[in-house]
């Protein structure tokens, strides 16, 4: 990764306040400074109430900050209207959640093509072929015509990961992607994320409560009371990638 490249994600003095100007006004993010390099694999940790979810919603362009600046892929998102935010989200971001949110009436293959359907209004042959390749890459080549109810929890999360990669995002935001899985499935899914990261120039920011998984990231950012309390590289992480 070239050090000359600008950060993929850059926050400067980011603040978020709810109920501004009212008696119950509360500021939950207090001037966050954070950058994420292109191709980086980082963990975001912290106790409940630390501001992780709010920060992730802002990073995912689902909420707007109250102050400070957020640059994504070289552009300040504060200048974008709602249509611009939607376009930026579809072009730049992929999402993996604790609960996979697959549509039960659709096959695994159809679920993976949904982002393209939402963006373009149709599913092209090229999109369908990429979806097949992604499912094959996550070990589900033989299960792509199955519906979510026919898949285990770990397999469903693999479909969700393939879906997150469908539009070739620069950044994947993963919110507790293994939080609903047993230990063995959790390790398998995390190893898959690391393998995808090693094979593609995609950045990952993974929210996790599991210290074992955080230690296997390249960098750990810890939040506390709406602030960054710790931000450090995990020196041994790359050597331990499964």
For the chain, how are helix, strand and coil distributed in percent, rounded to 5?
35, 25, 40
All domains of the chain, ordered by start, with CATH?
A: 38-64+82-240 (3.40.50.300)
- Name 72's bridge partners: 9, 75
Largest Cα separation within the chain, whole Å, is 57
Nearest C-alpha neighbor of 217 from the set 189, 190, 199: 190
What is the reported pLDDT for 199? 82
Q: Which residues of the chain have pLDDT under 70?
A: 1-5, 235-242
| Tens digit of each residue's pLDDT (9 = 90 or more) over 5-43 | 678 999 999 999 998 888 888 999 999 999 999 999 999
Rounded distance between C-alpha atoms, residue 89 and residue 226, angstroms: 24
Q: Please report the pLDDT score of residue 1 as a whole number.
A: 39
Which residue in this structure is represented by tokens 């993963």?
174
* Predicted local distance difference test score (pLDDT) of residue 5: 61
206-217 pLDDT, tens digit each: 998 888 889 989
CB 102 within 8 Å of CB 148: yes
Distance CA 208, CA 234 (A): 15
Distances (CA, A) of 115 to 106, 151, 154, 221: 13, 21, 21, 29
What's the confidence (pLDDT) of residue 18?
Answer: 92
Instruction: Name the 3-class secondary structure at 220.
Output: strand
């Amino acid at each position: 990764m070239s050090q000359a490249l600008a950060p993929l994600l850059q926050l400067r003095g980011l603040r978020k306040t709810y109920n501004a100007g009212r008696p119950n006004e509360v500021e939950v993010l207090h001037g966050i400074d954070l950058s994420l390099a292109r191709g980086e694999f980082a963990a975001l940790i912290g106790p409940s109430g630390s501001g992780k979810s709010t920060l992730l919603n802002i990073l995912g362009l689902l909420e707007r900050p109250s102050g400070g600046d957020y640059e994504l892929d070289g552009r300040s998102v504060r200048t974008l209207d709602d249509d611009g935010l939607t376009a930026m989200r579809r072009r730049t971001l992929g999402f993996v959640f604790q609960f996979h949110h697959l549509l039960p009436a659709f096959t695994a293959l159809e679920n993976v093509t949904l982002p393209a359907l939402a963006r373009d209004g149709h599913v092209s042959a090229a999109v369908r072929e990429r979806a097949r390749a992604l499912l094959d890459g996550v070990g589900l080549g033989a299960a792509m015509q199955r519906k979510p109810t026919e898949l285990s929890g770990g397999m469903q999360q693999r479909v969700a990961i393939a879906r997150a990669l469908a539009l070739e995002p620069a950044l994947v935001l993963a919110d507790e992607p293994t939080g609903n899985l047993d230990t063995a499935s959790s390790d398998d899914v995390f190893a898959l994320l690391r393998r995808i990261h090693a094979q593609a120039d995609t950045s990952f920011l993974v929210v996790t409560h599991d210290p074992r998984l955080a230690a296997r990231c390249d960098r750990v950012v810890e939040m506390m009371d709406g602030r960054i309390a710790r931000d450090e590289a995990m020196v041994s992480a790359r050597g331990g990638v499964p």
